[in-house]
Structure 1
Amino acid sequence: MIDSQKSTRQAPTTSQQTIRMPEYFYTATDRLTRKRETNSIEAASAQEALCELETAELDKIVLHTDDVAAAVSQMMPRKVSVNEDITASDYVSFRTIGDFGFFVYLTKNLYWQARWGLLVSSGLLLFVFLEENDFQRTYANIGLLVLFCLWLAPPVIALYATLFSPTRKYNQIQEDFYWGRWDEVLRRLPRVRKHLPLIEARAREAASLAGLGRLDEGLQIMGPLADQPEIPHWMYLSRLAEVYEYADQMEQCLALRKQAYEAQPENSVLKLGYANTLLKLNLDSPLAHQLIEEAEAQPLSDLLQLFVPITKGHLELNLGHYQRAFFQCLEGEKGLKPFISTQPFARVYADVARAYAAIALAELGETEKAEALFQSALPRLEALKSTRTIDRYRETTKR
């Protein structure tokens, strides 16, 4: 089995850091021991990571990282490496445990790290209290107060780290972003900018400005990134497409999605992004179908797999296969449920899935069920000004 976790613990030299490849998290079963573990591996792409894992006596491989997530992680200003205290399995679990779960995890971890000091100190104090010497007991009372503070420190530290962590602040930015609260995004971004990759901070800012109708300002922010050597060109094009999308300039968005895909045609995230934009514009369904099939034939992360049924449901909707569209969207929404409570992206895509499912039901004549489903997604659609989806549903119900 590949000892990729061990390799991540080694402190690389300066020259090694400059050529370090992206890191992919995975869960796999060792063919010899049948032991299933979560670990990480460095590779040039998800495809190469999968090939290397398959040649290392591993099967039932589940990737937890796609090419976009790996590239963004590699550009983080401060990257925490996997070690004995925070394992690859921990990192993967952070996606679903939420704030309270992270608080519990961190508290347990801090207690575990301080266990010997706390136990020895407690034992010494107990020994002193059992003695008859009043002088020693006086100092023991002071020691007891100190020990109490030490026992209380882990949950206090964990609570502070949970409430004021950059991750929590960024999750709030994502929540605002996916509700179209552009002013809030712009207000909160400066607080976490230093913790984010340059492309992530700039793209969020530019897209928010575009959502406010200030596309030119957004493009000025994105412009200098085109020549940044550490930012893959395909990523720049993909994030620029997002800016145009929130400015509701979908034709330009489509052109950029195509360019991003052509810049790295083996990237399944870009294929699905290109297909989704084609479907939103109801253009070239055969090409969208081809892109989806090609993406499915490649290694997909567990998160990326959740979006495939929704994309396929949208395709079936455009093709007029309404029964299939409904069940595909239903499958997509169901797959997102483990992430609904903790991940803003899951909530927005669940609403999208419900909206497409509602259109499919309306086409099938089940107007009452369709209306209930559509109303549950409507606040999100209105917040993001998804007029194409709203208009399509309204037109369907008027027939």
Structure 2
Amino acid sequence: MADAHETHVIVGGGLAGAKAAQTLRAEGFSGRVILLGEEREQPYERPNLSKTYLTGSSERSELFVHDTTWYAAHEVELHLGSSVVGLDRQAREVQLSGDGVIRYDRLLLTTGAAPRVLDIPGIDLGGVHFLRRLADSDRLRTTLQTLGRENGTLVIVGAGWIGLEVAAAARGYGVEVTVIEPLPTPLHAVLGPELGEFFAELHQERGVKFHFGATVTGIEGRDGMVLAAHTSDGQEHPAHAVLVAVGAAPQTALAEQAGLELARREEGGGIAVDASLRSSDERIFAAGDVAASWHPLFERRLRVEHWANALNGGPAAARSMLGQEVVYDRVPYFFSDQYDLGMEYSGFVAPGDYERVVVRGDAGKREFIAFWQAGDGRVLAGMNVNVWDVTEPIQDLVRSQRPVDPERLADPSVPLAALVE
């Protein structure tokens, strides 16, 4: 256990960083805890920025990890609007913009990820949106409200989770929506064509238009505002606003400048850490969206950009900072809400790295569980759609790595727990 004279610094004021600070205190660390957040908002959770907060069905106050008094009450030194511009590993110091320097005994990097920006004409027009921060969601919500009143059109570039959730929110406001996606279905790289087509139909029934097989080559505007998006197949898509949702890149500049090992591109990039979330420097740890950690179950590095990874990875890194034995091997998990559909996904499948998709339940009624199986029958991942309280047995199936008969897997009369026995 670190002693009371030590200083543990956390760079990154999101969910992972806030939960790490909470865990340091809960585990009895009595030294200084300094949490540096680049945003001026206190730490908050991001999922509802594209879900209930964007639709107006939840309040701003519900987003925050802790109430405003928690940090002072637990002697966590919270610095908002603090950009870290340098890291000196030899001196064990982080440099702040404005020439401030903070020394650390242990350092945790939870710097997250940033939206990928397209290098195309018109990307800097006033009507072009990205969605990562609370301020982005505030601005986008105002835009959707205006477009809904004026029968406006939103073009969404990218049919991933953010793109689809915003499409659902926009339709709730009455906005006309066109989604442009280069792959053949939504979520193609994540779910494959079988379930990608399922999500296409879900949105098409609500009036969303898809344009597959093309990329956006430019955004046309006048007087700073958006008029249309142009695609690689020569088509023009009228628009009053554009959301660019083409993924996020881990914010590794600080780690790279300091010479920390980075993960390979095929591992998702990010800061390379071991199963205890320790980097190539024994005093520096990483968690959340920026960390590519060694996963003992999948025997590879994984970088997971989802809420559960930040929620659980931050505390795991904090315990590791305190010298506890930590093996961070949780099964990846995420969730999504679109219209009246709720889903949860557990597991990991590399694109194309599965033999079959097995469906248990009624996909037509949108109440089912889909399983991705390897050629040897192992369950790689499972997604429950409008079926609840099954996450634990699905994760048990993934973790067991045991072959499962596809017919039994598809049979609702066979309890999921029985497939692990």
Task: Using structure 1 for the length normalisation, give the TM-score.
Answer: 0.31
Q: Considering fraction of residues, name the structure with more strand.
A: 2
**Higher relative CO (CA 8 A, sep ≥ 6), structure 1 or 2?**
2
Bigger Rg, structure 1 or 2: 1
Q: Considering fraction of residues, name the structure with more helix.
A: 1
